[in-house]
């Protein structure tokens, strides 16, 4: 593999490389450039040089590039699915979800080329003509994670590009191709001019030097980041020193509230999907289930049985539901947190121990609030369940979290569900569905420690364009001196 800077495939300036690893087998998939601040600077300079031409490119031309990109991705579907499995342990179900979402995202983003509209504003100056116009901001830095590599990298670049900005993308070291370099290939074939999209890769543990360059360089005018709250906070603090706006989509300790009038069979299926899709390595996964007491025993019995029966293993096997965690550190973190909870009095109803690189789907109850499992987002196939005596208790416990990304409410009474949704402190609430749900045109983002700003084609104009007030005087003004 090579990095992509200024329309050229290049090695890292320092000549170093690192191994792209398969989390299931440990095999080396390829050698990847280990870029550094110098490479990031070259990418920023290339993006800056390309901006003047790209911002003045007709919206119809931009639209055609995105539509071609969607067709290219559809043609390469099987290849991309294979890479998602190999790089990120992504199973067939989640791989299909990612491909379908991104093809739709590219098609919808093609229309964003026409979306940066302004308005005429009445002025109190006689015969004056006043306008509010939107302009692309310039170079956008995009930092994407590995977990939903295809979706989150495309989301990071699609709207900024369609709106006339140029982009430097830094993919995760765990998914340099599926979360980054694939877009250089696809958009180049689709006709994107050189320098408009640049991709810089880096070795494990070396993201910081590239991140610092992206934040500090004066030609970078916007940043978007999807990842952990800890890293997002550091980036936001640094960006604040440089007066740069960011879009942040961070962690979540997402609740699923199951009321006593919910259909238990449906609740079991929804909870399993919402908790264990992609090994629980999705920011939207249900982490805590609050179930009302009248149906709690039945729900927990059925849910524990379903959890224990979910097959785990090779993600390339279409029957696998729970594949490997992304690396050994992630596996040991899940192990340690479940172990701490059990040592503090929690009970494991299903799963609870690693199997090779996999951690089978796990259900834990009676987790003390002081445990890391209860306090922190745990990126793995582990969900906690609590029995509550009513909606108010569920609401109180859900809102105690310092996270606020997404939530789900299951009930037989839709109006009651909507009333509860309006009181949940989350950026996204799904009534009669579990927390994992997204569409390209929706305002995706959280509150509290889950970030700020909104992704989504329909809302990106607010994040990735600048408003400019322009007037045309209708007559000569008189001045006091």
Task: List residues with catalytic annotation.
Answer: 249, 283
Strand (E) positions, 213-277?
Answer: 220-226, 245-249, 254-258
- What is the bridge-based pairing of β-strands 197-199 and 166-170? parallel
End-to-end CA distance of the chain: 66
Distance CA 146, CA 151 (A): 10
Handedness of CA 76, 77, 78, 79 (dihedral sign): positive
C-alpha neighbours within 13 Å on the C-beta side of residue 73: 27
Six-digit token string for 265: 């069979």
Distance CA 412, CA 123 (A): 52
Q: Read off φ and ψ for residue 361, nearest 5 degrees.
A: -50, 135
Q: Read off φ and ψ for residue 33, nearest 5 degrees.
A: -60, 135
Distance CA 330, CA 328 (A): 5
Distance CA 203, CA 173 (A): 6
**Burial of 64 from C-beta contacts in 10 A (0-12 / 13-18 / 19+):** middle
Six-digit token string for 64: 């055609």
Counting every residue written for the chain, the total comes to: 481
């Amino acid at each position: 593999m090579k990095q992509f800077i200024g329309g050229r495939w290049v090695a890292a300036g320092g000549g170093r490389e690192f191994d792209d690893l398969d989390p299931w087998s440990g095999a080396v998939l390829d050698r990847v450039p280990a870029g550094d601040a110098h490479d990031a600077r070259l990418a920023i300079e290339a993006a800056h040089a390309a901006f003047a031409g790209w911002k003045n490119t007709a919206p119809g031309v931009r639209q055609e590039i995105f539509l071609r990109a969607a067709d290219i991705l559809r043609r390469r579907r099987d290849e991309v699915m294979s890479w998602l499995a190999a790089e990120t342990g992504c199973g067939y179900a989640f791989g299909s979800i990612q491909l379908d979402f991104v093809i739709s995202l590219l098609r919808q983003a093609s229309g964003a080329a026409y979306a940066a509209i302004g308005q005429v504003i009445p002025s109190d100056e006689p015969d004056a003509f006043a306008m509010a116009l939107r302009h692309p901001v310039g170079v956008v830095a995009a930092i994407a994670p590995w977990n939903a590599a295809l979706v989150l990298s495309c989301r990071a670049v699609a709207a900024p590009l369609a709106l006339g900005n140029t982009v430097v993308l830094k993919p995760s070291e765990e998914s340099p191709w599926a979360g980054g370099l694939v877009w250089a290939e696809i958009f180049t074939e689709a006709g994107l001019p050189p320098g408009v999209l640049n991709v810089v890769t880096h070795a494990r543990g070396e993201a910081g030097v590239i991140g610092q360059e992206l934040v500090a360089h004066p030609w970078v005018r916007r940043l978007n980041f999807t990842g952990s709250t800890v890293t997002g906070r550091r980036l936001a603090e640094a960006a604040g020193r440089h007066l740069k706006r960011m879009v942040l989509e961070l962690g979540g300790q997402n609740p699923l509230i199951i009321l006593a009038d919910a259909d238990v069979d449906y609740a079991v299926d929804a909870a399993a999907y919402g908790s264990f899709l992609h090994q629980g390595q999705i920011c939207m996964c249900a982490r805590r289930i609050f179930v009302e007491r009248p149906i709690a025993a039945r729900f927990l019995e059925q849910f524990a049985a379903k959890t224990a029966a979910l097959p785990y293993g090779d993600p390339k096997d279409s029957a696998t539901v729970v594949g490997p965690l992304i690396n050994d550190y992630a596996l040991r973190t899940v192990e340690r947190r479940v172990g701490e909870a059990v040592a503090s009095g929690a009970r494991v109803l299903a799963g609870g121990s690693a199997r090779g690189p996999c951690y089978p789907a796990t259900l834990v109850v009676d987790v003390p609030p002081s445990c890391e499992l209860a306090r922190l987002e745990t990126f793995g196939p582990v969900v906690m369940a609590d029995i509550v005596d009513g909606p108010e208790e569920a609401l109180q416990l859900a809102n105690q979290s310092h996270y606020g990304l997404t939530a789900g409410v299951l009930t037989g009474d839709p109006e009651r569900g909507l009333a509860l949704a309006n009181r949940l402190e989350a950026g996204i609430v799904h009534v009669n569905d579990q927390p994992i749900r997204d569409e390209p045109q929706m305002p995706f983002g959280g509150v509290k420690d889950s970030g700020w700003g909104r992704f989504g084609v329909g809302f990106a104009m607010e994040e990735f364009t600048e408003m400019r007030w322009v007037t045309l005087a209708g007559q000569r003004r008189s001045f006091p001196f």
